[in-house]
Amino acid sequence: MQSFQQTTPFRITVLPGDGIGPEVMAAAVQVLDKVQGRVAGLQLILDEYAAGAGEFQRCGDPLPEQVRLACNHSDAVLLGAMGLPDVRWPDGRELTPQIDLREIFQLFQGIRPVFLYHEADCPLKGCKPGEIDFVIIRESTEGLFSSRLRPLHADADSATDQLLVTRERSQQLFHVAFRLAQTRRSHLTLVDKANVLPSMVFFRRIFDEVAEQYPDVTTRRLYVDAASLLLVRQPQEFDVLVTENMFGDILSDLAAALVGGMGMAPSADIGENTAVFQPCHGTAPDLIGRNIANPIAMILSAAMMLEWLDSDASREAARLIRAAVTSVMQDPSCRTPDMKGHCTTDQITAAIIAAI
């Protein structure tokens, strides 16, 4: 057993949520329990709360006050998935408490790593493990989502959405992107639509200004349509991509498809004071209660949380989880049905725990 000094435990708010959220969260919690047993000095206090569509049905609020307070006062938040298609606000909108959390806590950095563990999981010919290895940074508090709560009148003849880009937020975002690129292969791609939208001309202008402070990072600017094509044709060319909220939303699903699907796509939503770690996927209502949800995106999100907590012990725990996932993924028969396998959620989780 590895031993590290840790004086105070980390307090983690755990929000399993709805749909397959509780199933994949149960897997991640088992993995966290296992690494706590393996890394002396790692202490995690997991405080679980009900939130999401189920909680809305029970008490009328998907994110009750005590959940917000817990998120605010904990070291990090681990979230499964939230929202259900049939549970809606009176005006017909779906509940999206996971997006509300990004706005409440200003979690502007949506960090979405994309990594190919085994060539059998890639729909492209000839892609070797590790050749697809990039990170999408999605701005997560403004962009085309910024007017999402504006009411839509039933008798409206037209509707518009606002794409908000602010100088301050964009500067913060680009500094994050350049610094991340410096820790990787020092290549950063801006994805925008600066040939058409004034907001994106402004976004690119700020990118260019910030780029001058990072002469060691090679940059590239792509329109979102061209970026989509290149991500399919030559995903190996990408290192870090930074983009607007909606473009990031769409491109991260496309990117997940290159490495096995939504069950392989972890994420972190990071702000100045707190961070929420959750798989990119939603509640997958078609899979509820069948023990076939892929838990790997959730488990890798927990590993991202441990890295972000940034103690010697938590970094070591994250390393153990990543090594275990890598080792389990070497066996292409060890897959849930979304990746053309026959394993259950429990079997994949047990294999990862055994590898740890």
Tokens of 127: 């892609």
Q: Is residue 262 a contact point for ligand ATP (CB under 6 A)? A: yes
Least distance in Å: CB of 297 to ligand ATP?
6
What is the distance between the alpha carbons of residues 119 and 28, in angstroms, rounded to a whole number?
25
Q: How many residues contact ligand ATP, by CB under 6 A? A: 16
Q: Is residue 54 a contact point for ligand ATP (CB under 6 A)? A: no
What is the H or E stretch that residue 21 is in? helix 21-38
- Which residues in the 69-108 window bind ligand ATP by CB under 6 A? 83
Least distance in Å: CB of 19 to ligand ATP?
7
Least distance in Å: CB of 83 to ligand ATP?
6
Which residue's CB is nearer to ligand ATP, number 271 or number 295?
295
Which residue's CB is nearer to ligand ATP, number 24 or number 176?
24
- Which residues in the 327-346 window bind ligand ATP by CB under 6 A? 336, 338
- Which residues in the 276-295 window bind ligand ATP by CB under 6 A? 281-284, 286-287, 293-294
Least distance in Å: CB of 265 to ligand ATP?
8
Which residue's CB is nearer to ligand ATP, number 110 or number 282?
282
What is the distance between the alpha carbons of residues 38 and 29, in angstroms, rounded to a whole number?
14
Which residue's CB is nearer to ligand ATP, number 79 or number 194?
79
- Which residues in the 23-42 window bind ligand ATP by CB under 6 A? 24
Q: Write the single-letter amino acid at 133.
A: D
Q: 263, 266, 271, 341: which one contacts ligand ATP (CB under 6 A)?
A: 263
Give DSSP secondary structure letters for 221-283: EEEHHHHHHHHHH-GGG-SEEEE-HHHHHHHHHHHHHHTT-GGG-EEEEE-SS-EEEEESS--
299 SS3 class: helix
Q: What is the DSSP letter of 8?
A: S
Q: Is residue 181 a contact point for ligand ATP (CB under 6 A)? A: no
| CA 92 from centroid of its chain's CA atoms | 26
Give every CB contact of residue 290 below 8 A, 6+ residues apart in sequence: none
Least distance in Å: CB of 23 to ligand ATP?
9
Rounded to a whole number of angstroms, the distance between the first and last alpha carbons of the chain is 11
Least distance in Å: CB of 97 to ligand ATP?
11
The pairs formed by 339-347 with CB atoms below 8 angstroms and a separation of 24 or more are: 339/121, 339/260, 339/261, 339/263, 339/264, 339/294, 344/291, 344/292, 345/23, 345/24, 345/27, 345/291, 345/292, 345/293, 345/294, 345/295, 346/27, 346/291
Least distance in Å: CB of 289 to ligand ATP?
13
Contacts with ligand ATP, 292-311, as mask; x by CB under 6 A: -xx--x--------------
Q: Name the residue with the smallest CB distance to ligand ATP.
A: 282
Tokens of 338: 């979304």
Q: Are 304 and 266 in contact (CB under 8 A)?
A: yes
What is the distance between the alpha carbons of residues 46 and 306, in angstroms, rounded to a whole number?
13
Which residue's CB is nearer to ligand ATP, number 300 or number 317?
300
Which residue's CB is nearer to ligand ATP, number 20 or number 343?
20
Which residue's CB is nearer to ligand ATP, number 32 or number 79?
79
Least distance in Å: CB of 85 to ligand ATP?
7
What is the distance between the alpha carbons of residues 141 and 245, in angstroms, rounded to a whole number?
7
Which residue's CB is nearer to ligand ATP, number 53 or number 165?
53
Which residue's CB is nearer to ligand ATP, number 140 or number 283?
283
Count CB atoms within 10 A of the CB of residue 167: 12
Q: Interface with ligand ATP by CB under 6 A: which residues?
A: 20, 24, 83, 262-263, 281-284, 286-287, 293-294, 297, 336, 338
